[in-house]
Structure 1
């Protein structure tokens, strides 16, 4: 029911109540007729009828008064209910007014947010245009450099001319009793397998006047019945006083140990009944022999006349490669420490082996941890390049910017020894450690190797 309906009902009830109130005093103002003097009269039928009529009128008057009283009470209840409804309506009106104000505030805030959003969209559009312009300029610059590089290659007959890389030249000779040459290089063209090895003193050692602590080795393992090449990289600890001598001794002793167990290694490597358990035992025995030979470098310098293992700590990584033509070439890689074996395939470098699978294993060193040797078998396809690396060299090859630089120079080519040393010794910013690497090119067939020389 609406408010108007309730007001009409209220007016009707007010009229009824006024009528009842008007009738009530009229009844009360009725005065009884003066009684005649008391006389002894006998009740007649007419008198009894009059008395009964009067009694009925009084009863009707009382009922009318009670009805009027009930109507008054109902009016009071209705008035209370109407007042409640009015109060509730006023509260709702107040709430509606507050909601309207809140909606107005929200609408205003929405407009402000839309304005800021349009401003940000305009800013993003401008930034995007600036980015596109910058990218276009960078691409134009890259195309210009590529054109100039192509012109230079066409005019000089080589990737970067007759001197593609200017190697870093040391400013002073190293100091100390354990010094060796600043850099070393070796290599061989073995039919379908081409190998190059180089070790260069790091920038940090050159700056501090310290000596190179790494060593590399290439050796034909003639004691193994199947023609096999041994490649090794030993990285001496920067803290070791005799780490360079220990690294060189580790490489030479490894070649001696491979020769000593050559027949057994060949049987487990290439024989139809080769057993991985026996192969792992042979490698542990060989590395323990290397550790014993290394300790001779500092014999008598440790406490009690023993060898000082801390002065000769070395991380060693070795690779045995089966020679001869073949579509899939077998290799065995093994070692202790944080060296790595990387593979270059389809223009990208990837790590295929590290002697230490976890961080604690990568801190292992010879001679103390000779029994913790890690190893794995792998195969290469024609066109693959394997790189046995010391940790600083592995970091360089796995860097996106520098790795692609080396990949462009080594993929599908067999560099001259001097070119290979220059590229390993390129003035590229790095961690400053010694760079040592043995690279092995697998051409599958010897005829393909001859056509890739540069």
Structure 2
């Protein structure tokens, strides 16, 4: 017996067609990193996970603002370490410090000061990834202890003594870390470069105080061109030797310099994984295009830009860029 008409209509109403699936929203598709030097033979895709004590993540990326300054930073495992399943040995970081103390040349109430750092674990040492991490962990506290001295417009000789004291305290911290891990201090060896960036104000233009131990470097992008502002002692343009000063072994070998910063400038701190390929005009030109238009890139863009490929340059690559308004 067929169902009543009313029942049939009710059944048809209860059976509704399935809603169309919502469209999948995908983010922008980043192409492979551009090749700027030669024809790299190794891919940039990470392979086996590192089998070492306390491996570092493949990559880190960070960014933000400190007062009117805009900062971007990344530390990327190099193609060599990715291919052979080895850990990234670089580290980087940046921090906001309170304005200089009142009574100094930069009065309290001014914009905060930016402290930035890159650290390059010595490749031949088995725990250097820990050493570079310790450098970035300890630097802010030891700079803060001497901030009133570092913020002064003192002669470079005086500032150099203060920077050596900071390096010595960091070296002591690395030795403590090594002892806790029952390792030799040399096994945690790391080069480093740091910059204190003071914003401009009534007392003058923005400026930076930079200091380094080893082969980490600093550059200034100004008016479309790059110039070095912090180089290892004795670096005359040749690609650096694998031998380098490093903490904790050489806290007295500190290179210190100052530079003025104009509106629109970009200050770059980097490990030699970036400094060495920057000896090629193709790299200099492309990075100037990326970072020299007055607009800081987004975090994914900055990571992709820093991930460019370069034959024979497979080292870890770390950089902190500061845009001056």
**Could you tell me the TM-score, scaled by structure 2's length?**
0.77
Pick closer, same or farther for the CA change 1:204–1:249 going to 2, 3 Å: same
Which whole-Å CA distance do the structure 1 matches of 2:248 and 2:296 have between them? 35
Which whole-Å CA distance do the structure 2 matches of 1:430 and 1:423 have between them? 18
Which whole-Å CA distance do the structure 1 matches of 2:199 and 2:29 have between them? 32
Which whole-Å CA distance do the structure 1 matches of 2:113 and 2:226 have between them? 25
Which whole-Å CA distance do the structure 1 matches of 2:310 and 2:28 have between them? 20
**Does 220-229 or 282-291 show the bigger shift?**
220-229
Superposed counterparts of 1:69-218, under 5 Å: 162-163=28-29, 165-167=31-33, 168-218=44-94
Q: Deviations over 1:135-186 (max 9, x none)?
A: xxxxxxxxxxxxxxxxxxxxxxxxxx94454354313322211301100011
| 1:342 maps to which of 213, 219, 240 | 219
| 2:260 maps to which of 379, 389, 393 | 379
- SS in structure 2 of the partner of residue 365 of structure 1: coil
Pick closer, same or farther for the CA change 1:363–1:428 going to 2, 3 Å: closer
2:198 matches 1:322? yes
State the shift of 1:425 in Å.
Answer: 1.8
1:213–1:236 CA contact under 8 A, matched in 2: yes
State the shift of 1:216 in Å.
Answer: 0.2
Bigger radius of gyration: 1
State the shift of 1:284 in Å.
Answer: 1.0
Q: Deviations over 1:2-40 (max 9, x none)?
A: xxxxxxxxxxxxxxxxxxxxxxxxxxxxxxxxxxxxxxx
* Higher RCO (CA-CA < 8 Å; seq separation 6+): 2
User: Any gaps of 5 or more consecutive residues in structure 2?
Assistant: 1-26, 34-43, 107-111
2:95 matches 1:229? no
2:46–2:85 CA contact under 8 A, matched in 1: no
Which whole-Å CA distance do the structure 2 matches of 1:247 and 1:291 have between them? 11
Which whole-Å CA distance do the structure 2 matches of 1:348 and 1:429 have between them? 24
Count of residue pairs the alignment pairs up? 274
2:66–2:113 CA contact under 8 A, matched in 1: no
Which whole-Å CA distance do the structure 1 matches of 2:122 and 2:84 have between them? 16
Superposed counterparts of 1:343-362, under 5 Å: 343-358=220-235
1:166–1:427 CA contact under 8 A, matched in 2: no
State the shift of 1:223 in Å.
Answer: 7.3
More strand by share: 2
Pick closer, same or farther for the CA change 1:300–1:229 going to 2, 3 Å: closer
Pick closer, same or farther for the CA change 1:386–1:369 going to 2, 3 Å: same
2:172 matches 1:292? yes
Q: Deviations over 1:59-112 (max 9, x none)?
A: xxxxxxxxxxxxxxxxxxxxxxxxxxxxxxxxxxxxxxxxxxxxxxxxxxxxxx
Q: Deviations over 1:196-248 (max 9, x none)?
A: 11000000001111000000010112374352110000000111111111101
Pick closer, same or farther for the CA change 1:405–1:277 going to 2, 3 Å: closer
| 2:295 maps to which of 413, 416, 419 | 413
Which whole-Å CA distance do the structure 1 matches of 2:287 and 2:311 have between them? 14
Which whole-Å CA distance do the structure 1 matches of 2:276 and 2:201 have between them? 32
Aligned residue number for residue 262 of structure 1: 147
Which whole-Å CA distance do the structure 2 matches of 1:381 and 1:401 have between them? 25
Aligned residue number for residue 442 of structure 1: 324
State the shift of 1:276 in Å.
Answer: 3.2
2:275 matches 1:394? yes
State the shift of 1:311 in Å.
Answer: 0.4
User: Any gaps of 5 or more consecutive residues in structure 1?
Assistant: 1-160, 444-454
Which whole-Å CA distance do the structure 2 matches of 1:172 and 1:301 have between them? 25
**Could you tell me the TM-score, scaled by structure 1's length?**
0.56
2:193–2:210 CA contact under 8 A, matched in 1: yes
Q: Deviations over 1:237-262 (max 9, x none)?
A: 11111111110101111111001112
1:336–1:356 CA contact under 8 A, matched in 2: no
